[in-house]
Chain A
């Protein structure tokens, strides 16, 4: 009975430990999988023609001829959309038309003055014509102002009744009739009473179309690169299309109740108007307007990015992260190994060593932001000016701060590794006449190297991913690639933090956010793999294979 119980207990133990490992694996996959998947979207995605235009403009990549052909084709598809928008906008936003009317009237007056000077007409005739023109102008302006369709039609009738006036033939006043004719069509389709409402909705549509397709061909190019191009990625385009087709509104449900999000079709806003066909047209032609194509953008890893991380890659970020991590190891390893060697070899277990060890363990648990502030106070503000370096965050200060951060971990690992070196190695060396230091350097350290490397892997991963210690000491969100170690740098960890806290930046460039995180994970993985391979080699050598 007892034996069976014991067997049962053994089985339970095996099952439980197996289950925990399984759970761990699942958790790892669940956490890392989506991250890496979405991060991979920064490199492999469907790039639109806007992406290729951007690549050509900013980096000179791609072929000019094929790009121009593509742009011409998309322009054709886009023109219909723009035409539709313009026509509708003319009815809603009449300020432009009003300007035109005023301009036309001024032209008309100038023409009359010239005619009088030439003697083609008398000044009496001219003043009567001028009066007629003024009347036309005022009518037309009234038409543009009014929200009453009847009144507008009446005035338009008045205006168009004058169209047959022969005295106006060939003069600038013809333009009045053209404008009136065009507006009559608009009045027929647009509910003038709802003009205010349309104006707001149209603004939104135009904004989305602008984000989707970029600035219009005849528009002046915006200064910032982020406004120069439409949706460069098909995923973003789909998101914008969704925004275009649906309106989200928070609706009050009554006092004391939470607001409710209501999604309605935007088409309802424009039902019956001339703009109604726009939305389905965009939906159907989006492919032709943007021409998405599968893109493998490996240059993401080496490209610099435009301000705000809108376009480009994470090259400087990778460089900065590598520099900081490796440099911090350069500082931390000698210090850590020496300290560990002292603790193991040079002192006996006494109160002093116990106090030191407690300090080290405490240090390992201190929040990293504390190290960041320490780095700011000590390295940046105190040490740098005294060493004749500029006062301000620098790679050097960041690396030293990270070194201090990882020291406890490194010392613990190195201590264990050095302690694990067989005493017989040391005895053999000492018996051959070697001194303590010599023995440590030539026998103990090589034998402890694999264990020290394990500590190195742990601390390297930590240093590469930390944000808080470099927040005030080394990192900047934007800036040039550093030319020396006394300059600050961009890093992957700080970059993703910056995008996350930036003003809705994460929503606009999600691929950058995930791309950076993925790059960081992959970078740490590569660094670790390298260290692991070196450790394997060392271990094999030590074991004698």
Chain B
């Protein structure tokens, strides 16, 4: 990260173009306060910088895309929201990151509650080597739901929400690993939905999928955004343009630009953003 200072990129202040509340015209039904707030949030892996001075608000019932070149900290930021970075030894956070008004990195936080409120879908489909049913009911069981009928209901609802019900309803007892890659990823989304989260974090959910499966997952994301707040990290700028309402551009650990997707893609304020979007970056 020494090159960071040499290039002078670190001096670039994040330009928050759009910080007003979304309007109906933006495609949002209800106008509510931001669900995730981040103020000067930094995360270091030992001496290495993951992200620094991230100040951005993420709004509910919308899809927020985070784009940027590899190693720019977009995944790091995403994983900070439900504290998955804790697993990495030496990770240290500073600044403020709040979900639903509650500081994620405070000592009082209940990690179990946080992670059940903030679901996560990973880059590669990672269903447990268990049956479809057991995969979905894993989260509710953690919450202490033991009643069979209740679990059945949750499984069905989540699979319907994830648009997978029609395909697997007859083989809920089959191993999840027998499903195709796209189905597995939708199953993972259904599994994340089963804990009843408000926020859904997606870490490049389509990078391991073929175009058809990608299309279905994107379709699913568009459907889900009416009920959930979705934050999606993607390498695919077309995808960000297709599914997201807002886009944030990260570069080398800094937030460069954040605004409505339409604005960011058609009329970027920052030259770096423009270079990146038009493919002249580097």
**Residues of A at under 8 Å CB distance from B?**
348, 422, 424-425, 427-435, 438, 442-443, 446-447, 541-545
Contact = CB atoms under 8 A, between A and B. Distances in A.
14 contacts: A425-B128, A427-B126, A430-B84, A431-B115, A432-B116, A432-B119, A433-B114, A433-B139, A434-B112, A544-B129, A544-B176, A544-B179, A545-B175, A545-B178
B87 A432 contact: no
**Category for how many chain B residues contact A:** 20 to 34
Interface string B95-129: 00000000000000001111110011010101111
Q: Which 7 A-B pairs have the closest CB atoms?
A: A544-B177, A544-B175, A424-B126, A544-B178, A431-B120, A433-B115, A542-B129
Contacts of A542: 129, 175, 177
B18 to A, nearest CB: 30
Contact of A429 (B128, B175, B177): B128
A432 B175 contact: no
A434 B116 CA distance: 9
Interface stretch (B7-15, B148-156, B188-196): B188-196
A543 to B, nearest CB: 6
A428 B188 CA distance: 9
A159 B38 CA distance: 136
A542 B84 CA distance: 25
B61 to A, nearest CB: 22
B126 A422 contact: yes
A259 B7 CA distance: 96
Contact of B112 (A428, A435, A446): A435
Best-buried of A428, A542, A545 by chain B (most CB within 10 Å):
A428
Interface in B41-100: 82, 84, 87, 89
Contacts of B116: 432-433
Best-buried of A429, A430, A435 by chain B (most CB within 10 Å):
A430
A543 B175 contact: yes
A428 B192 CA distance: 9
B265 interface: no
Given A541-B175, A543-B175, A427 B84 contact: yes
Nearest to A540: B175
A432 B138 contact: yes
A432 B89 CA distance: 20
B97 to A, nearest CB: 17
Contacts of B143: 433
A443 B142 contact: no
B143 to A, nearest CB: 8
B84 A431 contact: yes
A446 B176 CA distance: 15
Contacts, number: 77
A544 B127 CA distance: 11
A543 B139 CA distance: 22
Contact of B128 (A428, A430, A543): A428
B128 A443 contact: yes
A429 B174 CA distance: 19
Given A435-B112, A544-B129, 14 more contacts: A425-B129, A427-B84, A430-B84, A431-B82, A432-B119, A432-B142, A432-B191, A434-B138, A446-B130, A447-B129, A541-B175, A543-B177, A544-B175, A545-B178
A446 B126 contact: no
Nearest to B143: A433
A350 to B, nearest CB: 11
Given A427-B84, A428-B188, A446-B129, A433 B122 contact: no
Nearest to B113: A433
Contacts of A545: 175, 178
Contacts of A429: 128, 138
A433 B89 CA distance: 19
Nearest to A426: B87
B142 A430 contact: no
Nearest to B179: A544
Contacts of B119: 431-432
Contacts of B120: 431
Nearest to A422: B126
A425 B115 CA distance: 16
B122 A428 contact: yes
Contacts of B124: 424
Nearest to A446: B129
A432 B192 contact: yes
A453 to B, nearest CB: 15
B46 to A, nearest CB: 13
A354 B175 CA distance: 38
Nearest to B117: A433
A435 B114 CA distance: 12
B126 A428 contact: yes
A425 B177 contact: no
A110 B138 CA distance: 108
A447 B179 CA distance: 18
Nearest to B121: A431
A424 B203 CA distance: 13
Interface string B169-211: 0000011111100000000100110010000000000000000
A433 B142 contact: yes
A197 B163 CA distance: 104
Contacts of A447: 128-129
A190 B192 CA distance: 106
Contacts of B188: 428
A543 B178 CA distance: 7
Given A424-B122, A427-B126, A432 B115 contact: yes
A539 to B, nearest CB: 10
Nearest to B120: A431
A427 B175 contact: no
Contacts of A443: 128
A541 B173 CA distance: 11
